Chain A
Amino acid sequence: MVDELLFFMEVLVGGLLAGTMYSLVALGFVLIFKASATFNFSQGAMVFFSVLAFCGFMQDFNIPFVLAFILAALLMVVVGLCTERFVLRPLMNASEDTVLMATIGLGYVLEGLAQAAWGVEVRRLDLGIGDFPVPWIADNLKLFISALDITAGLVAAIMIIGLFLLFKYTKIGLGLRAVADDAGAASSIGIPLKHIMLLVWSAAGVVALVAGCMWGARAGVQFALVDLALKALPVLIIGGFSSIPGAIIGGLIIGAVEKVLEVYIGPFFGGAIEGWAPYVLAIFFLLYRPEGLFGEKIIRRV
């Protein structure tokens, strides 16, 4: 009995921590959705592009770890800059659907560029953190939890606190929230949409890099990261597209649910249900709570 409970705890905690990896990816989507009300389909490509560049800097040019990370982050700011200038600005007055289509195109461009620049083979990314159980926890709590999962959890927590402080207490954060509420009114009082878009896309780029590092260390830096990032879709449906806490909680829920279901219900379906179980959960949310757990309900005075 105790063993079973321990096993369940292990599955649950492992799932929750793996979920923070989804949360990290989802964060990037939320940032852009808040500012431009668009689901950024290129977020997965941004994850792939950024982490591949990071690996490229380290492995092809022998640039040290920290410097390579900073370079990759700067590269993502440049990507944000180009996106604002060449994609978003010309589409300023276009409908949200048009912008959505443009992000799909942008995704292909980024995927192509990344592979053209750094090659197509799978790269190994060593963060110096092993993807194996931490001995101390295994000995004392009898739980086998990966060090990488714990790191991902900590990194996610730090990023959320950072973004929260940025939005709540800085001038540009106030500008971003104003644009998220009513872009037209924001521009009528002199908030330059250009700067806000640049900020948001750069921030999303850096978040993509961090998420890419975590995923790359686990699964190898490879093209499959692009599709993996789309797991953020059910996370966002559950958490709400415009909520940063929602992205986090949504990620945790998806992580925990898919692992628990895989272990306890999976065998009845012949296994490997974690690939689609999150989407089933997402469909239930779409039916019964379409704004997600934390999504901002559209407030209307009656």
Chain B
Amino acid sequence: MSNTSSNILDIKNIEVTYDDVILALHDVSLKVPKGKVVALLGANGAGKSTTLKAVSTMLASERGKVTKGSINYDGNAIDKQNPSQMVGLGMVQVLEGRRCFGHLTVEENIISGAYSRKLSKGDINQELEKIYTYFIRLKERRKSQAAFTSGGEQQMIAVARAMMAKPKMLLLDEPTMGLAPQLVAEIFNIVKELNTKEGVSILLAEQNTNVALKNSDYGYIIETGRVMLDGTAQSLLNNDQVKELYLGISKKGRKNFRDVLKEESLTKKKIN
């Protein structure tokens, strides 16, 4: 990964503050190679969503700011852009909690994703049909009001809607939150398919470490606003500490990497 041009996204040492006082990210660096799936893992409040929003520039609407470091996306430094400009550049975020337009029909929801593109009615229908090949379940429910569809369907709507913007890169924020294991697998299958068939690069934030790593190429683990560990998905799945702290295969009562570091420094002191 030394060749920077092969990365569609390159985040270098960013710090993020909310309301000028709350430091949410201390020092996060990560790279997403073109055409790969990268998982961003961590517990609640670790800074996963904040990292994604820093990239999609959605931070501004929550009074957050990138105060240090740089973000480079597809050759552009991300700085003063707004979310709709980012969509224009091919970067679309699927927000946490699905956020469908409840009063619109499923199909209207999906079509709304094409808002930023200048498409004729015919083109839109063609795109729709293509999208429906990935989300077969949504085609059956195209006329229903989105608010009355199931959680899994709503997640599919959110991803389908984002795909209508023809993204080069998708940011998925906890796509499997609150879904049954079967649906989790279904969602990840679709994500993998979009990645391989449409060539979309993906950065996904997840708490579901096991499934996320199994479906990713590379992973980053963040805790309290810092990257604690990164590596290929396979290496992380085999890592003892990851197994213990994030996959629930526990030996001792340690809860996170900070505890591990503390213990290590204690044992060092003892030895000395």
Q: Give A residues with C-beta under 8 Å from B.
A: 92-93, 171, 174-175, 177-178, 180-182, 184-192, 296, 299-301
CB-defined interface of B85-97 with A at 8 Å, one 1/0 digit per residue? Answer: 0111000111100
Q: Give B residues with C-beta under 8 Å from A.
A: 56, 58, 60-63, 82-84, 86-88, 92-95, 99-104, 108, 111-113, 115-116, 145, 147-148, 151, 158, 161-162, 164-165
| Inter-subunit contact B63/A93 (CB<8 Å) | yes
Q: Please name 15 further chain A to chain B contacts, defined as beta carbons within 8 Å, in addition to the given A192-B84, A299-B145, sorted by A numbering.
A: A93-B62, A171-B115, A174-B111, A177-B104, A178-B112, A185-B99, A187-B82, A189-B112, A189-B116, A190-B83, A190-B84, A190-B87, A190-B92, A190-B165, A300-B147
| Inter-subunit contact B108/A174 (CB<8 Å) | yes
| Inter-subunit contact B60/A174 (CB<8 Å) | no
Distance (whole angstroms) from the CB of A291 to the closest CB of chain B: 13
B60's partner among A93, A175, A178, A300 (CB-CB below 8 A) is A93
Known A-B contacts A187-B61, A188-B58, A189-B113; A182 and B101 likewise in contact (beta carbons under 8 Å) = yes
Nearest opposing residue in chain A for B149, CB measure:
A301
| Inter-subunit contact A182/B148 (CB<8 Å) | no
Q: Give Cα A177 to B115, complex, Å.
A: 12
| Inter-subunit contact B95/A188 (CB<8 Å) | yes
A-B residue pairs in contact (CB < 8 Å), sample of 7:
A174-B111, A177-B103, A185-B100, A188-B56, A188-B87, A189-B161, A300-B147
A178's partner among B88, B101, B145 (CB-CB below 8 A) is B101
Question: B115 to chain A: which residues have CB within 8 Å?
Answer: 171, 174-175, 178, 189-191
| Inter-subunit contact B161/A296 (CB<8 Å) | no
Q: Give Cα A185 to B84, complex, Å.
A: 11
Distance (whole angstroms) from the CB of A191 to the closest CB of chain B: 5
| Inter-subunit contact A299/B102 (CB<8 Å) | yes
Q: Give Cα A187 to B58, complex, Å.
A: 8
| Inter-subunit contact A184/B113 (CB<8 Å) | no
Most chain B beta carbons < 10 A, residue from A92, A180, A182, A187: A187
Nearest opposing residue in chain A for B58, CB measure:
A188
Question: A182 to chain B: which residues have CB within 8 Å?
Answer: 99-102
| Inter-subunit contact B162/A184 (CB<8 Å) | no
| Inter-subunit contact A191/B58 (CB<8 Å) | no
Nearest opposing residue in chain A for B121, CB measure:
A171
Question: A175 to chain B: which residues have CB within 8 Å?
Answer: 112, 115
